[in-house]
Amino acid sequence: MSSYPEPRRPRPATAQEPLWRHVVGAVLRRRRRAQGRTLQDVADVAGISMPYLSEVERGRKEASSEMLAAAAGALGLGLVDVLALAQGELARAAQVRGPVSVTAVTALGASAGGSRGRGTMCLAA
């Protein structure tokens, strides 16, 4: 009998709560298409493979910050731009789901070392 607790499995996301990789991928894809550019073009400028960029855009791969910065830069965006666009999408999805209790948000910020219980939330990606 093992003395270690069984590892916790992540809670599956609900249909109304998109995963981060899906939101970021959609942001990149929309920007690329709005510019009328191909996957190959953006991948070449970013210095990453076209199949990898395709996987990121489809939300199948979680891009590292370096890869995300390269893809964003190739599209004329900074990381802050990608974060702001993704935040907008996540906020819209949260409105569909309904409000989050202030107690839960404050507890999250405090436990993550963010607000220390002052009523603000710290978002880490």
State the pLDDT at residue 94.
82
State the pLDDT at residue 93.
85
Q: For the stretch 73-95, what's the b/e string if a residue is b when 16 or more beta carbons lie within 10 angstroms of its beta carbon?
A: ebbebeeeebbebbeebeeeeee
Q: What is the pTM of this model?
A: 0.66
pLDDT tens string 42-54: 999 999 999 999 9
Mean pLDDT value of segment 66-93: 95
Report domain extents, the chain.
20-111
Look up the CATH architecture of domain 20-111. Orthogonal Bundle (1.10)
Is residue 69's pLDDT more than 70?
Answer: yes
